[in-house]
Amino acid sequence: MSPEPLFLIHLVLGYVAWLLCFAAYGWPRLKSMDAIAAHRAIATLHSFRFFGLVFILPGVVGPNLPAGFATAAAFGDLATGVLAMLALLAAGIRPLFLVLVVAFNLVGTTDLVLDYYHAVQLGLPALAGQLGATYAIPIIYVPLLMITHFAALYLLLRPHLKEGLAFAGNAAAP
């Protein structure tokens, strides 16, 4: 079997496994926490995104890994990780913490979406072997990162969603 379908199967199953795990264990726990604690937990996970710099570390990835993918992925991960760390450092200053939570989630989500786009444009699934030791990152780590970004964004919007639903309910009342 060629690398492309194997990579895509791995990627899909990575999302399925993490969605099952997150639905059973992560999401119920995050929903039960106060908002700051939930965002701190998510920021803690994302603070390890500096690890994405490994995409540009010679000897870890193959020499034919497209630079257009590797460089953008590495520095997008670094930016997200640093923003997550700054959020954790600012946890005691609620307005600053929330700004940094929004920032790392928007930067991180954008980074992952752009990484997927670049991967498709550059034919990365067919070159999956060039990922070398980093192969596990898009298969195991990225699905969890994307899921937690969506969870964080939902948690940020949840109060506004409730207000919108209450307003809609009041507007519909006779």
Q: Residue-wise pLDDT tens for the chain (174 aa)?
A: 888 999 999 999 999 999 999 999 999 999 999 999 999 999 999 999 999 999 999 889 998 888 889 999 999 999 999 999 999 999 999 999 999 999 999 999 999 999 999 999 999 999 999 999 899 999 999 999 999 999 999 999 987 655 555 544 555 555
Phi, psi dihedral angles at 91 (to 5 degrees) = -55, -30
| Distance, CA of 145 to CA of 49 (rounded, Å) | 9
Task: Record the pTM.
Answer: 0.88
Number of domains in the chain: 1
In whole angstroms, what is the distance from residue 161 CA to residue 18 CA? 25
Chain length of the chain: 174
In a domain, 164, yes or no: no
What does the alpha-carbon distance between residue 26 and residue 132 come to, in Å, rounded to a whole number? 30
Asked if residue 169 belongs to a domain, the reply is no
> Is 146 domain-assigned?
yes
In a domain, 71, yes or no: yes
In a domain, 173, yes or no: no
Asked if the structure places residue 25 within a domain, the reply is yes
How far apart are alpha carbons 114 and 60 in whole angstroms? 22
Rounded to whole angstroms, the Cα distance separating 118 from 103 reads: 22
Residue 174 lies in a domain: no
Note whether residue 163 is domain-resident.
no
Q: Note down the domain range covering 102.
A: 3-158
